Amino acid sequence: MKISDILENAIEEKLNHVKLTELKQYASQLSEKYMYQERTGDTLLNTEIEALAYSIMRMPATYGAVYTALKHTLERIDGNIQSVLDIGAGTGAATWAISELLDTKNIQCFEREQVMLELGKSFMNQNPKLKDISWDYMDIVEDDLDVKADLVVTSYMLNEIKPENRKDVINKLIKSSNHIILIIEPGTPEGFQNIKEVQKRAIENNLYIIAPCTFQGVCPLPNEDWCHSIVRMERTKVHKVLKSADLPYEDEKFSYIAISKEKCDNSGTRILRHPMIEKGKITLKVCHNGEIEDMIVTKKDKELFKMVKKKKCGDWI
């Protein structure tokens, strides 16, 4: 998967006004901050060049994660989505992905970092389909969310918020949705703990889990384990330069949860770890209707074997 050509061109246009060596320096500093700095809710970037470095490094991965999670969600429900809120929109990666899957122009982006908000708007001005999307300043921790939409999306935001503020933020997201809430977090043990907290709040509020869970209940995985999906994103040339990368792609691991205010059936079988392919058999760790199981598929099951061989962590079978 890759970001749209329009977005890639919009980002590259901004590169005409900066030195690549300087941009690479800011990219390295941002990586250090996001990897090692304690999450206090404070801003991690302040300048346009930092926002540009962030967009090059993170927009493709965020785009891919949101696209994949939303696609899985839409495959499991019958929903008429006419309006969307993108909360903590950053530079707009989630909205670019959403616009590929939903035919609605009624999307509102909210972001607290002014430099990211302005950069995101400038990217969308290059796309006739997105140039009229509204952008507004909002700090989800401090401000009331006094608008509602059919779909509320937030990506990689809860992990940036102080733990003591997350319950209130999750409640705000739930309250602002007419139908569906989709939350994406890093595919790490810490990110998955945030997802489990959302799951807990959903159950407490008598809401329904759409995906990726395969039952309506508390996750049965032990605390030392975690659930995630993977999307492979094609790297742009400048992305490879900023990350000093040789591979033409990047694998983004992410955890997510989609919940609904309407009853839904989320039963099924989902792969929890990358399939172990051996000669004549494939071993899988799966979540089947809420039960964690080991599953072995052999060549005797020709069609199933052929299908499972193409699957990856996070897919349904």
How would residue 311 be classed by pLDDT, with cut points 50, 70 and 90? very high
Residue 313 domain-assigned? Answer: no
Is it the case that residue 162 has pLDDT exceeding 80?
A: yes
82-136 pLDDT per residue, tens: 999 999 999 999 999 999 999 988 999 999 999 999 999 999 999 999 999 999 9
Whether 251 and 294 share a structural domain: no
- Report the pLDDT averaged over residues 263-276: 94
Strand 149-155 vs strand 84-87: parallel, antiparallel, or unpaired?
Answer: parallel
Whether 245 and 274 share a structural domain: no
- Report the pLDDT averaged over residues 269-288: 94
pLDDT at 33: 65
The answer to whether residues 112 and 88 touch, using CB atoms and an 8 Å cutoff, is yes
How would residue 144 be classed by pLDDT, with cut points 50, 70 and 90? very high
Point out the least confidently predicted range of 19-33, 116-130, 159-173: 19-33
Whether 101 and 235 share a structural domain: yes
- Report the pLDDT averaged over residues 283-311: 94
Mean predicted lDDT score pLDDT of the chain:
92
Number of domains in the chain: 2
pLDDT at 60: 95
179-207 pLDDT per residue, tens: 999 999 999 999 999 999 999 999 999 99
Is it the case that residue 16 has pLDDT exceeding 90?
A: no
The answer to whether residues 145 and 175 touch, using CB atoms and an 8 Å cutoff, is yes
216-259 pLDDT per residue, tens: 999 999 888 999 999 999 998 888 988 888 899 999 999 999 99
pLDDT at 35: 61
Over the chain, what HEC string results?
Answer: CCCCHHHHHHHHHHHHHCCHHHHHHHHHHHHHHHHHCCCCCCCCCCCHHHHHHHHHHHHHHHHHHHHHHHHHHHHCCCCCCCCEEEECCCCCHHHHHHHHHCCCCCEEEEECCHHHHHHHHHHHCCCCCCCCCEEEECCCCCCCCCCCEEEEEEECCHHHCCHHHHHHHHHHHHHCEEEEEEEEEECCHHHHHHHHHHHHHHHHCCCEEEECCCCCCCCCCCCCCCCCEEEEEECCHHHHHHCCCCCCEEEEEEEEEEEECCCCCCCCEEECCCCEEECCEEEEEEEECCEEEEEEEECCCHHHHHHHCCCCCCCEC
Residue 92 domain-assigned? Answer: yes
Whether 117 and 99 share a structural domain: yes
Whether 79 and 165 share a structural domain: yes
pLDDT at 38: 62
Please give the structure tokens belonging to residue 235: 């790297």
The answer to whether residues 181 and 249 touch, using CB atoms and an 8 Å cutoff, is no
Is it the case that residue 41 has pLDDT exceeding 70?
A: no
Last residue of a domain, one of 240, 260, 280: 260
How would residue 39 be classed by pLDDT, with cut points 50, 70 and 90? low
pTM over 0.85: yes
Residue 315 domain-assigned? Answer: no
Whether 302 and 221 share a structural domain: no
Whether 182 and 292 share a structural domain: no
The parent domain of residue 303 ranges over 269-308
- Give the angle subtended at the CA of 68 by the CAs of 241 and 33, to the nearest 5°: 45
